[in-house]
Chain A
Amino acid sequence: MTTSTSLLYLIGLPFAGAAILILGGRRTDKWGHLLATALSASSFAVGVYHLFQMVNRPIEMRPTSQKLFEWISVGSFNVDAGLLLDQLSICFVLLITGVGTLIHIYSIAYMSEDRDRRRFFAYLNLFIAAMLLLVLGDSYLSLYVGWEGVGLASYLLIGFWNQKPAYATASKKAFVMNRVGDMGLSLAIMIAFATMGTVSFAGVAEHAHHTSEAALTAMGIMLLVAAAGKSAQFPLQAWLGDAMAGPTPVSALIHAATMVTAGVYLITRSNFVFDAAPTAQLLVVIVGAITLIFGALIGTAKDDIKKALAASTMSQIGYMILATGLGPIGYAFAIMHLITHGFFKAGMFLGAGSVMHGMNDEVNMRKYGALRHFMPITFITFGIGYLAILGVPPFAGFYSKDMIIEAAFNSGGTQAILLGSLTLIGAGITAFYMTRVMILTFAGTKRWDEGVEPHESPWLMWFPMAVLAVGSVTSGYLLYHNRALVFWLHPLFEDHGEHEELLKPIVVSALALTMVAIGVSIAIYKYLRENIETVAPDNVSWLTKFVRKDLMQDQFNEKFFMRPGQLLTKTLVTTEDVIIDGSVRGVARMAIGSGSGLRGLQNGFVRSYAALILVGALILIAAIWVVVS
């Protein structure tokens, strides 16, 4: 363990940017976006500096820590606010600041027409700072602060155009569903404190060996709830589709590349908890498996390009969560897929933003078509992302996704075959819906609205897309080559030796590519034709209708959570109103009633007062007389 004093700059630089832009107000309109981009880039530079420092140190000296201040000190409960940069955090730091900076650059052009561009950049910087705090915190409590910070930034950015009520509702929905997950995280922290008396990662890792499995299982399940909320995993997945209301760079940065992967980070970081709690680990696998199919199915029925990509994000994160649930053999692959996904999905979202930019903010893919002739750069960069997500060699997704499928097949027991098949089916469906997106957008005939004149985006926009496309091609091989990432992360996880190999890697790759080929063929057969309706056809099977409604996720939530919740609230309000308020009001009414009754006596006439005194005195005398005699 090494100590450092420069870790705080990572968080401090973007945070200062957010503070300056928010407090500076309109005065910073002219140069705010440049400052924000520069600060994000310098944070990236600090990250790269730390990476080189880290590589040059021996393995056990690689983690770097910085103590900031004594945060809470009550009796035996001590929490220091500290930062920890280890092999896992550095992956995230570089992804967040690297992709973040590219998206800052992209946003300069994308948001140039917007009156509130400065506010947008302030929120982006705030997000970067919060996300860095999330991955750099050395205890669950510090992580929690960052966790809430990214939730806030996400809320502010989804509702950035909150003059449209639907967008404001979407941001509220995201925030409320995230609260459910946050509750899980706070409960997990409480369980850790109650059973182990510490909330730092190092402390929990140390105590995990001699803590009861029940407590660890409870903590693991709560951490899973937290991860599900933030990463849009089943059953808290419903907010991600609506979160696409935010500006497209936000969808690329927050809702594809970084924030939604915080759940994967949380589970990977808590590997010591999950490794000691098999039940919780099994639940993680189940959640991941359900979500990867769920998201892929939703993706097949979306006509809104951003929502199709959002469903795909959900599904890909399902892969990562599934991999983390497989235990030590899966963590490194989850992180690998997370990084490659960060590249290709952010690239595709930026591509989608570029298409929208050229098509007057139209998001309906049925009104695109033939755009490859008009937006060649967008087509190529998007196409590279497409090949990467499909897992076509040698693009990034091929390495990372195949590793996860392989790990699923090799996880042992009867579940291995089931999980492996699910991941293969997921890959097939992914190929289907991504091909559909490609064909509807870039191939076929023009189905544009009148007056739309698509054009290629300015270089400020395609430059980041190009960089991400390069990442989508190379990142997979670089991380896979010589098992680079696996060895890099190895010191963090306890590996329990070799695993039986159910299928050889080459067989898995062949199976996956077969599934992809099937998916692509079906999509081409269905969509590569002349007459695609600009309005989604109604005469479809009930299954399609079911999928179009997002597998009834909103209806389910409404029926089983919102309505009973409202009923409960109403009952409580009535109870409160009748019983508690009623008794308070009753006392008040009694006082008022008796007061106004007695007020008649206070008529202001001296003689009547005198008469009353006299009568009172007489009664008193009479009473004394009766008592005495």
Chain B
Amino acid sequence: MDASNYLYISALLFTIGAVGVVVRRNAIVVFMCIELMLNAANLTFVTFSRINGDLNGQVMAFFTMVVAACEVVVGLAIIVAIYRSRRSASVDDASLLKR
């Protein structure tokens, strides 16, 4: 099977994720879309690792997973804290930083 198909699928996943981040308001969904983008990137790493025949890309994929896990922990905590104080998980409501 041609390796470029994996690249196409990862590009598709990344695009879905990016569009989701931009258009959705719910913080949880935005978060899931970010995960989707990270995993799309992982897929490309692994694909290139396969194409090049070495393990560098696969190692990078593990790093990405660790980063994603940390990010989820911190990000979810923030979302829960915001939800508690504002009773809303909409990212548009948390727009106070511009002041």
Using CB atoms and an 8 Å cutoff, list the residues of chain A in contact with chain B: 602-607, 610-611, 614
Contacts and interface: CB of A to CB of B under 8 A. Distances in A.
Contacts of B96: 604
B5 interface: no
A606 B92 CA distance: 7
B22 A611 contact: yes
Interface residues of B, number: 14
B76 interface: no
B85 interface: no
Nearest to A605: B95
A11 B94 CA distance: 78
B22 A605 contact: no
A612 to B, nearest CB: 10
A614 B95 contact: no
Contacts of A606: 30, 91-92, 94-95
A604 B21 contact: no
A31 B96 CA distance: 72
A610 B95 contact: no
B92 A605 contact: yes
21 contacts: A602-B98, A603-B95, A604-B95, A604-B97, A604-B99, A605-B91, A605-B92, A606-B30, A606-B91, A606-B92, A606-B94, A606-B95, A607-B21, A607-B23, A607-B91, A607-B92, A610-B21, A610-B22, A611-B22, A614-B21, A614-B22
B28 interface: no
Contacts, number: 29
A614 B99 CA distance: 24
Contacts of A610: 21-22
Of B30, B98, B99, the most chain A CB neighbours within 10 A belong to B98
Contacts of A603: 95, 98
B18 interface: yes
Nearest to B22: A611
Closest 3 CB pairs of A and B: A604-B98, A604-B95, A611-B22
Interface in B23-81: 23, 25, 30
Contacts of B22: 607, 610-611, 614
A435 B1 CA distance: 132
Given A606-B95, A607-B23, 12 more contacts: A603-B98, A604-B95, A604-B98, A604-B99, A606-B91, A606-B92, A606-B94, A607-B25, A610-B22, A611-B22, A614-B21, A614-B22
B85 to A, nearest CB: 17
